[in-house]
Structure 1
Amino acid sequence: MLFLFLGLLAPSAATDGDQFLYTGFAGANLTLDGAATVTAAGLVELTNGSTHQKGHAFHPAPLRLRGSPKGTVRSFSVAFVFAIVSGYLDFSTHGLALVVAPGIKSLSTALTDQYMGLTNAKDDGKDTNHMLAVELDTVQNIEFKDMNANHVGIDINTLTSLQSNETGYYHDNNGSFQNLSLISREAMQVWVDYDGEATQINVTIAPLAMVKPKRPLISYIYNLSTVLAEPSYIGFSSATGPGNSRHYVLGWSFGMNKPAPVIDIAKLPKLPQLGSKPRSKVLEITLPIASAALVLTVGIAVVLLVRRRLRYTELREDWESEFGPHRFAYKDLFHATKGFKDKHLLGAGGFGMVYRGELQKSRVEVAVKKVSHGSKQGMKEFIAEIVSIGRIRHRNLVQLLGYCRRKDELILVYDYMSNGSLDKYLYSEEDGLTTLDWAQRFRIIKGVASGLHFLHERWEKVVIHRDIKTSNVLLDKEMNGRLGDFGLAKLYEHGANPQTTRVVGTTGYLAPELVRTGKATPLTDVFAFGTFMLEVTCGQRPIKQDEQGNQFLLVDWVLQHWHNGSLLEVVDPKLRGEHNSDEVRFVLQIGLLCAHPSATARPSMQQVLQYLDGETLLPEMTRADLSFNMLALLQRKGLHVMSWPCSSTMVSAGTISDLSGGR
């Protein structure tokens, strides 16, 4: 009896088919990695509320998936109870996943954010991952073709789900579908069953108190014998992005060739409570009414006063007095965004959060971006540049209105662009989203070219943007393209030599000389703009991946079609042939010229604008002019190409890391 009791508290192995059961994890011998830990209450906490982190928790013993070394993967069953607790009511980054993989070390190179601690851009989709994952995803990532921000998916070696469904369950009585919210802060139970004979994967989810529904949420036929390696381990993976989410596992069971043991929910540890507990009325009943009213009034007044002071506290230094007109009061931005409420959240990425707001006095709509800056080094110079950029006025540039500083946050205020970013229209499969026709795309390309020409040559200083990409091109009410996000921009006097600095920008848009020398120039912006032109015309990201998981650059792909005389085959299929072929070919050729690996071969933005406006003929390009392989060239420079479309990056020879400092 003692042996049996202990078997319920810790993993147990049977000779006929392995199984284990955890009803809480206090004292459990799990293999933990990253931010993962077991709390004093017995919860597995995969992430602890910090941003941009990952955590793994694995059962320590390998699974005996095959009856013999070369046998097929046998049937198995998994049940687990999880909860996602976000600091926001309507927003969380990111989800968690049950994963079967060669081991926790196989996930050591996995990334945070949208990669959920499972893969990275270089390895995602490779057969050598030998990975099965069931993802509970709370963010819609266009690059992985996610259906929405609240879905369950079956993943094989990649985060692009083979099958996914809106989170919920089918009612046993009438078969109706009942929605569930992964970020409800409520514990839920998931069952994952694999039938070795039928090679069928079933995934079911339900509220904690409910028995397992008869109809699974997802059923998918896939022979896991072709995927999973021997040995394999089972566990959980999770990651956060810019949001302060926590991911918990409360209970877990597994059965090989038999159903997973039933989890007794009465024995599960309790989730931590967010916020303070409801006030008790006992005190109010027992004390005289007058005294209670007085104490309450004084107490509320003090609390409100303190909260008010703390709520609007700013970081302000003496040197900022000269920038007074461009400094926003935090109180005004707080009220403009209704306290930075979730419902005003426009988006989130590597930079932080962007909120929609309306300034109370002027009724002007603004976009308010909150970014982190960990040190004061260079802050005065940076603010001076922000204020200088704020003086720029051009119809194809998003107006940077000003800034605010509070604690460890830098807040930038921009004009609000009602139609959002260009990348959404190129890649999102969101219902009701308008597909941009060729005339609109061509107008956007010309508009961004005009804005860049102004920054490089027409303003009082030279402004190098350093992060030109589709997600930084915003569309106004008339669908005109405006270049925004000047957080990485650098300024210098006309005729001066730009100073060498660390390499910043986004992978896929970086010119070879920028990677080599770290020196940004107008011609490195031209390179990024060339890639941008190809991206808008082709409807393809700067880094593509074929069915075999091999990565290659968009510019190389377009160039190959140009060499083969099949240039129009690269045009975005969404245009369905409804475009001016001569105009499209013309734009693609300019894009290839701008994205030339040799800086001296690239035109200036003034020349690009003259080509696009028809004022100057495009020089005839020969095979000798465009005979290069950009990917091979970059790899020779020591840059490992990785696709990180959601955030800016900082690059050094041979390595890539997230941009820090909020610039």
Structure 2
Amino acid sequence: MSSSSVLPIHKKLLSISLCVCVILAIGVKVDGSAGTTAADQFVYSGFSGADVTLDGAAAVTPSGLLELTNGTLRQKAHAIHPAPLRFREPRNGTASARSFSTSFVFGILCPDPDACGHGIVLFVAPGSYDLSAAFPSQYIGLVNATTNGDKGDHLFGVELDTDQNNEFRDIDGNHVGIDVDGLVSVSSASAGYYDDRGGGVFRNLTLASGEATQVWVDYDGDRKQIDVTMAPLKMAKPSRPLLSTAYDLSTVLTDVACVGFSSATGSFNSRHYVLGWSFAMDGPAPAIDISKLPRLPRFGPKHRAKLAEIVPPVATAGFILAVGAIAVLLVRRRLRYTELREDWEVEFGPHRFSYKDLFNATEGFRNKNLLGVGGFGRVYKGVLPVSKTEIAVKKVSHDSKQGVKEFIAEVVSIGRLQHRNLVHLLGYCRRKGELLLVYEYMSNGSLDKHLYDASDDVPILDWDKRFMIIKGIAAGLLYLHEEWEKVIIHRDIKASNVLLDKDMDGRLGDFGLARLYDHGANPHTTHVVGTIGYLAPELGRTSKATPLTDVFAFGVFILEVTCGQRPIKQTSNGNQLLLVDWVVDHWHKGSLTDTVDARLHGRYNIGEAYLVLKIGLLCSHPLSSMRPSMHQVMKYLNGDMPPPELNPTLQNFETLALMQNEGFDSYIMSYPSSVATMTTMSNVLGEVIT
């Protein structure tokens, strides 16, 4: 049987792959290089002619490699043994998981092992499990943000993860983990093995080394024990496993389930391969014939025999591109924006949309599709003609003083960011004087609408959703400040820049004012920009945005969401009062929880409300040195660390807040000034905070 006989499944039919697995006859045999085995075991020594169910990017190469991903970004792939296996049997009146053993040989290739994709998972899942909703990112093509951790999934897996994700509490970016119903491992260890030849000493292995490595997974149904062992190819199985965990899989696995592999690349160039695979119930897995395994490919120049096939089309394409580039340059001389550089687009730019597609998607940018008007442009809803994907298109205003600069900053900042609490930038377009950004559409609009819109068609946000949104935006800011390759300071955190997706999860957007710098470097002094009410007091003196100025704005944001009040309140006598000062006043009076949004009618968790109000005041502390980092904030919100007691220096907050009226660019002030700027007072304040 040739490699063309491998069963391919279209990406839109991902959910069918496991269902097909359930209805196939249990007596399916494995032919060719896989040999012939009983229904409860199989072995693939190479995959040429193997009857394996594939979907997504998965394919079998002519040499017999099971290629899960081929280096394309944001890919997911699955390869599943087509015959279902019975994993549970009646024992002492209950259904108990049977013992099983599996072994496989894998290889992961990355140009840079420190910037690799998201690894491979060997999984066992019910035939009804739907893989189509899984994300091709840190969720490794197996789950998504909603299904991760759902006990109803009945998933068991062993992950070989080449990326560290704090949301899954990963120990490092090169680890092996035992997963149950999600990617938060019940047990994990850095990749490696205990060398019997060296007296049992532990030796590290790099998962993305490009070398073939063998893994053994054994479950003892009597002892309820899971063992995971690994070693370089051609080395005997070490006597001591890398991981050994007591866990009763009878509570996880269904009676009949399927076994397979899942993988994803995310935002990095990587390739995932399986060279051989064996499995057996109630006994050791059959030995893989190492001599029959195909070789892993190598990154680098192609074989000389391929050059004759590659050079002519490349040369032709290069000639066409050169002619096209010359034509474009000649035309661009007559255009208004010929001075714009194109180098940054090659380095940072995501997918570029055609203006025609965006024009048609928004019905010519008609007013009926207008979602809102911001400081730097209008936002329209659209539907792409071919894919039918809903999008939001932002057109930067022509009269914006920094329109082009802010447009480029936004593309560079978020074009490569991948986090579930950040609005995803899909692409961009430039045409004559028009600058357009294309985002994924957030069906529930901006958060401020849900906080302040009194209309009947916008329900009041309940407490659970507010708490979830606060935690989500905190996670997004932690990613920007500490977890991405550069430090990103957002500089405009507020409720109107938080969008809600179809699940009412909060996504931080609008990076038009964002600034980037390297970890460990100092941010540069710049113009003070942002929104009055969210600006940290020290900005009026230093004009230097830092992560702690973002923390200040996040503190105000927490109070805004919890209290249902805008950052600047209108008092009954017509004066203006900062929301932070109002909450501090209640703190002094011992009535802090009285500030919680009255529209909740007392239906909220008092402990959580007190916690977030306390965190809000800590984050919006007038002294930047007293504010927590976002890493600490996440520990407070997750209950991993109690927040410190509020500092008495908060008594000075109202006075220090006067600095927000000194030195700020007038065009970005969303609220009128509440007090006049006083030079003598600012001098006193400078002494207080230094």
TM-score by length of 1: 0.48
Greater relative contact order, per chain length (Cα 8 Å cut-off, separation 6+): 1
